[in-house]
Amino acid sequence: MINKKVNTVQEAFLGIEDGMTLMLGGFGLCGIPENSIAELVKKEIKNLTCISNNAGVDDFGLGLLLQKRQIRKMISSYVGENAEFERQMLTGELEVELIPQGTLAERCRAAQAGIPAFFTPAGFGTEVAIGKETREFNGKMYVMEQAFNADFAIVKAWKGDTAGNLIFKGTARNFNPVMAGAGKITIAEVEELVEAGTLDPNQIHIPGIFVQRIFQGEKYEKRIEKRTVRERK
Amino acid sequence: MPLTKEDIAKRIAQELQDGYFVNLGIGIPTLVANYIPEEINVEIQSENGVLGMGQFPFEGEEDADLINAGKQTITTLPGASFFDSAMSFGMIRGKHVDLTILGAMEVAENGDIANWKIPGKMVKGMGGAMDLVSSAENIIVAMMHVNKEGESKILKKCTLPLTGVACVKKIVTELAVMEITPKGIKLLERAPGITVEHIITSTEAELIIEGEIPEMTIN
């Protein structure tokens, strides 16, 4: 067994520097690497390019990095929940590349799987396709999209073992599995880290080969963005 | 009387068929889930990674790890499954999802749709909408017929940046049900008590009107 365990988030962050490109898992506030984001704030790492589906909310998730102006460029699909993001974008303080959600996921997966580019119908005929190669297959038009190139991928899982194997829970899975192994180095933070051999190999969602460093997060707030409930009858 | 948002959702629910996998966008489309006819089985896909979405949880049973694409807390139904974002959009682009219902800011008479950006004013992003509209065979738009300024949202040509090209099949508004045909937008039904003339004056695009236009039935 190749041991991927590191004891602290500080140890996991070795080599993360200003100006790097980071991929961060999560959809909205669901399944985000909370402890790693807190560490990025604490270490005041700046001038970052962040690839993440959303930009958090004003006071949680990647919104914390936006507040401190640590992000230079954001690559996302939907940013509607963050007023500070919208302000920085409309004033031009923040560079933003908005791309279709499926394309975002596939550009991660392509990087993970060693595929340099692929064709998707998403965005054909829109401003997303401007400057990109388009091609017809079986009578339909497609846009060529390229794999991402990130220095670090930072993902969050429910359970993990010292071999780096990961199991996700519910919809907190989202972008985390496709970002694992999509950066030069992948850091996984997990709610529960167990010894290799404890998890059933049949139940592993992401094999440890895609993860270089794994640590157990100190605490998880797991904030709910839109609490919707129904009445008991 | 123009339809309420709930009534628009009820009318769209009549388009659902047994065995459909359906993706619902944010806003009025989400309400459609409340009016699925009891006699049919429909599974709802939420693109953040769940098939078989159920109702909102009871108070106290919310799970931060279980949300829909609108970031609302949800539950799952028997037979549900979770998956990652690449697989989710594989389902969508691979045409495994039968019906997409989404909102729009503008729809053009050729089926173009705009719903993600107002240059210089509002940029929320396209989320999964571009993937959905570029792939789905059957796309229904649920929206209000006119905007807050009273201007038609159904146009000869969209003025806002497009989300997708020639893809919308049907539009349901508070005033009418319309179908996008190769010849243009055909008026199919009108809201109870709304005249054809009212619909024509509320619509910038040319409408194809053939014979008597029936009133919608909303239960």
Q: Which amino acid is at B144?
A: M
Our CA-based measurement puts residue A25 at a distance from the nearest CA of chain B, in whole angstroms, of 10
Q: How far is B27 from chain A (nearest CA, A)?
A: 14
Question: What amino acid occupies position B39?
Answer: E
Neighboring chain B residues of A127 at a CB cutoff of 8 Å: 161-162
Asked if residue B140 lies in contact with residue B98, where contact means CB atoms within 8 angstroms, the answer is: no
On whether residue A24 sits in a domain, the answer given is: yes
Residue B3's pLDDT band (boundaries 50, 70, 90)?
A: very high
> For residue A146, which of A122, A117, A124 has the smallest C-alpha distance?
A117
- Does any domain span residue A124? no
**Three-state DSSP state, A14:** coil
- Which chain B residues contact residue A87 at CB under 8 A? none
CATH of domain B5-26+88-208: 3.40.1080.10
A230/B120 touch (CB, cutoff 8 Å), yes or no: no
d(CA B82, CA B65): 11
Given this model, what pLDDT does residue A232 score? 86
d(CA A141, CA A139): 7
Residue B122 has pLDDT above 90, yes or no: no
- Chain-centroid distance, C-alpha B50: 19
- Is a pLDDT exceeding 80 seen at residue B163? yes
CB pair distance less than 8 Å for B65 and A31:
yes
In a domain, residue A141? The reply is no
Chain CA centroid to CA B204, Å: 20
B211 touches chain A (CB under 8 A): no
Residues B52-107: tens digit of each pLDDT: 999 999 999 999 999 999 999 999 999 999 999 999 999 999 999 999 999 999 99
The helix/strand/coil state of B64 is coil
Question: Is residue A185 in a domain?
Answer: yes
Tally of domains within chain A: 1
Tokens of B119: 């240059």
**Considering only CA atoms, which of B127, B81, B89, B101 is closest in space to residue B16?**
B101
Q: Do B73 and A224 touch (CB under 8 A)?
A: yes
Q: Which domain holds residue A105?
A: 9-115+148-216
Q: Which of B56, B92, B122 sits opposite A230 (nearest CB)?
A: B56
B80 near A CB under 8 A: no
Q: Which of A68-72, A91-95, A188-192 has the lowest mean pLDDT?
A: A91-95
Could A77 and B126 be called an inter-chain contact, meaning their C-beta atoms sit closer than 8 Å?
A: yes
| Among the partner residues B49, B61, B124, nearest to A79 by beta-carbon distance | B124
pLDDT at A189 over 80: yes
Lowest mean pLDDT among A146-150, A229-233, B53-57: A229-233
For residues B124 and B161, the answer to whether their CB atoms sit within 8 Å is: no
Write b or e for each residue in A74-98: b if 16 or more Cβ atoms lie within 10 A of its Cβ, otherwise e: bbbbbbbbbebbbebbeeeebebeb
Query: Which of A163, A171, A164, A223 shows the shortest CA–CA distance to A189?
Result: A164
| Phi, psi (deg, nearest 5) at residue B201 | -70, -20
pLDDT, one tens digit per residue, over A80-118 is 878 888 889 888 999 999 999 999 999 999 999 999 999
Q: Using a CB-CB distance cutoff of 8 angstroms, which residues of chain A are in contact with residue B74?
A: 228
Mean pLDDT over the full length of chain B: 96
∠ CA(B11), CA(B16), CA(B20), 5° rounding? 160
Whether B197 is a known active-site residue: answer: no
Residues 173 to 232 of A: which have CB under 8 A from any B CB? Answer: 173-178, 205, 222-232
In this prediction, residue A85 carries a pLDDT of 87
CB A82 within 8 A of CB B122: no
Chain B contact probe: residue of A171, A176, A229 with most B CBs at under 10 A = A171
Confirm whether A131 is domain-assigned: no
Spatial separation of the C-alpha atoms in residues B92 and A214, rounded to whole Å: 32
CA separation for the pair B18, B139 (Å, rounded): 17
Residue A34, domain CATH: 3.40.1080.10
ipTM summary value: 0.96
Supply the pLDDT for residue A233: 75
- Please list the residues that pair with A188 across neighbouring strands: A155, A214
- For residue A30, tell me if it sits in a domain: yes
pLDDT class of A150 with cuts at 50, 70, 90: very high
Domain definitions of chain B by residue range: 5-26+88-208
Residue B72 CA to residue A181 CA, distance in Å, equals 29
Q: Which of B38, B47, B137, B215 is catalytic?
A: B47
Q: What's the mean per-residue pLDDT of chain A?
A: 96
Read off the pLDDT of residues A19-68 as tens digits, 9 standing for 90 and up.
999 999 999 999 999 999 999 999 999 999 999 999 999 999 999 999 99
Spatial strand order in the sheet of A134-137: A117-120, A140-146, A134-137
Residue A127 pLDDT > 90: yes
